[in-house]
Amino acid sequence: MSEIYYSHAIREALEEELERDPDVILLGEDVAEYGGAFKVTAGIVEKFGPERVRNTPISENGFVGVAVGAALTGLRPVVEIMFMDFITLAMDQLVNHAAKFRYMYGQQARVPLVVRCPAGAGRCYGPTHSQSLERYFFATPGLKVAAPATAHDAKGLLKAAIRDDDPVVFIESKLLYGKRGEVPDGDYVVPLGQAEVVRKGQDVAIVAYSRMVGEALKAAEALEEHDVAAEVIDLKTLCPLDMATVQRSVEKCGRAVVAEEGWRTGGIAAEISAQIMERCFDYLQAPIRRVAALDVPVPCSEPLERAATPDWERIGRAAADIVTNY
């Protein structure tokens, strides 16, 4: 094991897959000599050359379309969207083309495409550079969505996504780039579609993904001081969604909190809560609680940004409420 930064784990995955498979290419704004907006791809063009690590114009619709075409013709492109907010400019290419070709043409077509998306708030970048937009792709049949919470899973899930024959939207929380974690030496993959119970408990199940997993673990530690044992489930991927693992935890605990960084209305937590109701109704001892961002654009002001986005304290309060009052 080596302890490395989350961002370096992603870089390792990219370098190892470029080395392993000559069909892997990287595309995006400033991903070559500059190393990407968050320096995740720093030094890669020097190792693999400008033919395989290509800067693109400031045109997400254009270069994501190029990547879809490249995937259809046998390459395995990995596209970096500078900020996830900008992926809205490529919705047609992803939702109407990449997501549909396998369904429309069966074995005649595959789209082994990965779209990397630095997402989320916490840096005071404001309403158009701080969003968590995974809900749009979570709701689109034909797309897979991965959202790792640790350096270990960032590397393993990215390698799995690159090797997958379907398009994968890969969510990277900007606040996780500087977090360190243990990563195995050598090649490994983390399978898409398998959640993990990262903390055992019996009083309340907290379901989370990406940065909210760390916040859920902090909440669980705080709850333990009040004799509440919280179980924390890291979803890892949203599509495929491993509801079987969630169901087992909720049936054991009888209570559930679902946390996400995106907006509360119409979000990931809303869908998971609905599925918990459908699967676990007879086991529930309390209403399901959702913890998510307020339904407002993400503010630039640091105090307002903190007020609008979820954290461990809100997760803890939600869990404590349903344990003590029901």
* Residues labelled catalytic: 60, 129
Using CB atoms within 10 Å of the CB of residue 119, give its burial: 0 to 12 exposed, 13 to 18 middle, 19+ buried: buried
Q: Per-residue DSSP letters for 190-201?
A: --TT--EEEE--
Please report how the helices 243-253 and 268-280 are oriented relative to each other, as an axis angle in degrees rounded to 10: 60
Structure tokens at 257: 């909190």
Contact 7, 178 (CB under 8 A): yes
Residue 92 is classified by DSSP as I
Q: Percentages helix, strand, coil for the chain, rounded to the nearest 5?
A: 40, 20, 35
Structure tokens at 73: 């013709």
Evaluated on CA atoms 70, 110, 210, 96, the torsion sign reads: positive
Phi, psi angle pair for 93, to nearest 5°: -65, -40
Across 29-151, where does the E strand assignment appear?
Answer: 53-55, 76-80, 114-119, 144-146
Using CB atoms within 10 Å of the CB of residue 218, give its burial: 0 to 12 exposed, 13 to 18 middle, 19+ buried: middle
